[in-house]
Structure 1
Amino acid sequence: MDSFETLIGKNINEVVLNESDTFFVAPLEYFYKNCGKRYPASKLKLADLDYFDMIDFTELFKFEAILIIWYFEDVITDLELYYLSNDFDILLMDYYYIKKSIDEGEAHKLREGDTKYLGASRLDEKVLQPNSDKLANKRELVLKKKYLQKILNELGFKYL
């Protein structure tokens, strides 16, 4: 990865972002509302969700911090190291809600609104699920936009 000092002002498409041994690296785009407040453009995908071999919570969150590389109109504007460990209790509750739904054969009923920060984002393709004869949409585990907005708000980004 390029050194941190040189990333600000660069085009996100020209920067090489490698995995880190100490934190998760996440390039995240944001936009501005009419009032000038920043908001995240999308959810942050963490992993594909395999109903028959669900990733462990400790593997999903193997790092306690996330390096967020915020960019606007393809230009990197901010770098923030956010400690996910501050929210592990809520992320863990969300994880177990999703896992319980899958274990009970209710993956087809999962909604992102059922959880606070960690979501099981629905994809178009349908697949088999455990303990049920109903097909369920494939999913991916994501940090929800609501959670990313919380991070933006806590970091104290200023309005335009």
Structure 2
Amino acid sequence: MDSFEELIGLKIDEVDLDGSDDFIFSVGYKYKNCGQRYPAFKLKLCDLDYFNFIEFADLFRYEAIFLIWYDIDSRLITDLEIYHLSNDFDVLFRDYYYIFSAVRDGKAHLLREGDTKYLGASRLGEKVEQPNNKKLANKRELVLKKKYLSKILKEISLKCSY
């Protein structure tokens, strides 16, 4: 990958993120009519395996992540951010435990993204078996929700306004 200083102004398609460490993520954003930026997508962390649930420590192996922010329309990279997830581990852990408990108790089919604050179990189309229940549940992936990414993006804007 290019040196970080050289990324600003490049198109996101010109940056090779394949094979990069799993603490580097690209996040697209759009603009509201008022000019405020907001994330265009949720940020996928991993697929959720109901029978081999990932440990919190493995999901968040790093205390910080490196975010490459780019404008969806122009595809240009505009911001680079090292964000310390460790500041939010208490909320992320509560969300993780809620999702884990639902899966463990055979209630994965009842999970909704609105049940958690920052970490979501985003629904995918295909249905699969779940532990401790014969009812099928949608496959899911663990994501950082748009609400959380908006919080991070607002913090970047506040830093830039000083």
For residue 153 of structure 1, report the CA deviation from its aligned partner. Answer: 1.0
Whichever residue aligns with residue 155 of structure 1, its letter is I
User: Where in structure 2 are there 5+ consecutive unaligned residues?
Assistant: none
TM-score scaled by length of structure 2: 0.93
Aligned to 2:24: 25
Aligned to 1:7: 7
Work out the percentage of aligned pairs sharing the same amino acid: 65
Alignment deviations for residues 109-133 of structure 1 (CA, whole Å, 9 cap, x no partner): 0000000000000000000000001
Separation of aligned partners in 2, 1:65 and 1:103: 28
Separation of aligned partners in 2, 1:105 and 1:40: 32
Aligned to 1:153: 154
TM-score scaled by length of structure 1: 0.94
Residue-pair matches, total:
157
Aligned to 2:66: 67
For residue 90 of structure 1, report the CA deviation from its aligned partner. Answer: 0.4
Aligned to 1:52: 51
Separation of aligned partners in 2, 1:135 and 1:69: 37
For residue 69 of structure 1, report the CA deviation from its aligned partner. Answer: 0.3
Aligned to 2:129: 128
Alignment deviations for residues 35-93 of structure 1 (CA, whole Å, 9 cap, x no partner): 00000000000000000001111110001111110001211011011000000000000
Separation of aligned partners in 1, 2:90 and 2:24: 21
Separation of aligned partners in 1, 2:88 and 2:157: 18
Aligned-pair Cα RMSD in Å: 1.3
Alignment deviations for residues 3-32 of structure 1 (CA, whole Å, 9 cap, x no partner): 011000001111112423xx7101000000
